[in-house]
Structure 1
Amino acid sequence: MRWNNRPEGSNWGDFGADDQLGRPNLIGSEQVLKGAREIRAGLSFCLSLPLDVPGENKLNPRRHPPVLRPTSRDGLPYVNFPFARTEPHATDVISDDQVLLSLQYSTQWDSLAHVGARFDADGDGVPESVYYNGYRAHTDIVGPVEYRADDGFEPHVCGGEHSHADVLGIENLAVKGMQGRGVLIDLVAHYGNAYRTIGYDDLMSVIAADGVQIERGDMLVLRTGFAEMLLAMNRQPDEAVLNSHCCALDGRDERLLQWITDSGIAALAADNYAVERYPARPPVEAGEHPLLPLHHHCLFKLGLPLGELWYLRDLAAWLRANGRSHFMLTAPPLRLPGAVGSPVTPIATV
């Protein structure tokens, strides 16, 4: 066992001592069939933004738009490349490209290696940097430097320049498939684009008003209107406007977090940035606390993947017009071993 002490309210070990999948374990054949039974009209909706949206790097200075470049052959760009250069009688013209891509720039899944915490998993009174199910920073999730608590988290060079999640990488979700029944909660239909931090009471009010049924193994999707507003900005995001509009979940609301635990949902996605309100409101009690409390609860404690910046307007309009909230959701990430996040092109089928 890699831990002697698990966080209060976590499910570490419940799916096995070496589990790397977390709550998507709840998506079994029954949940996939439930999703399939929601296909009645034969219509599909793309739930991804163009992957060069938001535009610029204002929403996160570390994340930049994708850069496309051609591959090369003999020092020449391999776009509109005539094979006749090397094979005189060939008629083929070939284009081949590559991309420099920040994996969590646009519509995305977070892997369980995305957010961990300083926590005393050993039970010896000294916190370690750990992730879901007790997997360790610098041992299981590795990078070019190591940050040590004993010297104020100064970086120590480990060699190389690469990173790799040897466990909990995004490939686990890809192999799982992330296909099953999706459930939409349309916050825009009730709160418009008003700035509102959604706690338990607000969420339950919308669920009750729309008669939304949420069952174990469902993937929950929240529409806040953020992605629609962002898309209208045409790759020139206005931070002041974005920061003063739209709903986001209240990660400090303990009742909301407990509901996420009790609901049995297998994944949580939204059309906004981070799903939760950031910065979060101050905690009730002083002392150490996560700055991303919803990420802490979902990724670190429950192994519940988070999706961000999904595009939901067209699906939401169709579902409301047809008196529905459920659909078949197919949303596998890239099968990129060792990545801590991934672009995704979710498809809703109704």
Structure 2
Amino acid sequence: MTASPAGSAAPRLSADQFEALFRRLREGVTFGAHDRRGALNHLTPAHVAAAAGEIRAGIAVSLANDIRHREAADNPKPARHQMIGPITPGRTPGDLQFAQDQFAMNVHGDAETHIDALCHVIYHGTLYNGVPASEVREDGAHQLSIDTAHDGIVGRGVLLDIAHARGEPWLELGDHVTADDLLAAEKAQDVRAGEGDLVFIRVGHQARRRERGDWTAAKARVGLHPNAVELLADRHIALLGGDGNSDSAPSLVEGVDFPVHVLAINALGLHLIDYLQLEDLHDHCVRLGRWSFFCTVAPLRLPGATGSPVNPIAVL
């Protein structure tokens, strides 16, 4: 594994270099030809039971952003919320009425917190573990949909706070996170991400948005350098999330717009959570002086879907 010093300019990868990295990571997955759970296999019942010991202060914290219904630079197709059963005026107080509503959303946008299923990324005509792309059809994904995680993902969460480790409120656009950044955050926080962990990486995306306002995140975003994925693969983590979408924009790879998504989802079978809200968790971790916690992630039960809105909960 190669890495650049924390905060330094790591090199772009050529198409050939990226293909070599992709093959190396894919060949390291040894769950068998019929596997459909991917990196969730690293999360065993023993890991889940041990994670309960992370609950000490009894503080529950949401890691999700609000679902936004107004158009913005980073949310050109906002969720739609409609009241379908408003209270009818003129009724007597004793009448029974129900307030009702419905909503629709673009699951894979740049604003709402969502989890990507293993059917989300098609690369070289296949999904994770060589499943043919033809398994994603008009009626949904017939394999590797978010239904793979319908029992939830529960385990030890680890926050690697890159912005905090660098002493900055956020990483500025044009920057990215290297493997050495991850190691430096572990050292600064006295924590180590390991097998079966749910790893969350904070670059300060939401803090910047609150302070500076929205921007076109599809074109300018801080994420991981693709080489950093190799460190996470070596650690056998079970899930990866970030307050951006884990990929830098513009891309650091020639000809591949979302290289981290390709490496994580397609090569490793690693579910990604995009656009987390990690500011509240950051505050609690700083105050308590600890960066690991019990965590539960509960996707909606949506057989055939390529992802799901999600509200992860950390319990410290």
TM-score by length of 1: 0.75
Task: Spell out, residue by residue over 1:168-220, the C-alpha distance to the aligned partner (whole angstroms, 9 max, x if none).
Answer: 11121222x11110000111213322322111122212222222222200010
Task: Spell out, residue by residue over 1:216-259, the C-alpha distance to the aligned partner (whole angstroms, 9 max, x if none).
Answer: 000100111102222456xx62339x93xx842112x2xx2321
Alignment partners' CA distance in 2, 1:18 and 1:225: 38
- Conserved 8 A contact 1:24-1:266: yes
Q: Aligned ranges for residues 1-350 of structure 1 at < 5 Å? A: 7-10=23-26, 14-52=30-68, 55-56=70-71, 58-59=73-74, 61=76, 64-71=77-84, 78-80=85-87, 91-105=95-109, 106-118=112-124, 129-138=125-134, 140-143=135-138, 163-175=139-151, 177-191=152-166, 192=168, 193-195=170-172, 196-232=175-211, 237-239=214-216, 243=220, 247-251=222-226, 253=227, 256-272=228-244, 274-283=245-254, 290-350=256-316
Q: Which has the larger radius of gyration?
A: 1
Task: Determine helix, strand or coil for the equivalent of 1:10.
Answer: helix
Alignment partners' CA distance in 1, 2:149 and 2:126: 20
- How many residues of Structure 1 are paired with residues of Structure 2 in the alignment? 288
Runs of 4+ in structure 1 off by over 6 angstroms are: none
Relative to structure 1, is the Cα distance of residues 11 and 172 closer, same or farther in structure 2, using a 3 angstrom cutoff?
farther
Alignment partners' CA distance in 2, 1:260 and 1:18: 23
Compare the two structures and name the one with the higher helix fraction.
Answer: 2
- Conserved 8 A contact 1:13-1:19: no
- Conserved 8 A contact 2:115-2:271: yes
Alignment partners' CA distance in 1, 2:246 and 2:272: 8
Task: Spell out, residue by residue over 1:255-293, the C-alpha distance to the aligned partner (whole angstroms, 9 max, x if none).
Answer: x23212111100100011x2121222244xxxxx53322
Task: Spell out, residue by residue over 1:62-99, the C-alpha distance to the aligned partner (whole angstroms, 9 max, x if none).
Answer: xx11111234xxxxxx22259x8xxx997211122211
Sequence identity (%): 29
Relative to structure 1, is the Cα distance of residues 65 and 231 closer, same or farther in structure 2, using a 3 angstrom cutoff?
farther
Relative to structure 1, is the Cα distance of residues 112 and 12 closer, same or farther in structure 2, using a 3 angstrom cutoff?
farther
TM-score by length of 2: 0.83
Listed as ranges, the gaps of 5+ residues in structure 2 are 1-21
Compare the two structures and name the one with the higher strand fraction.
Answer: 1
2:12 corresponds in structure 1 to: none
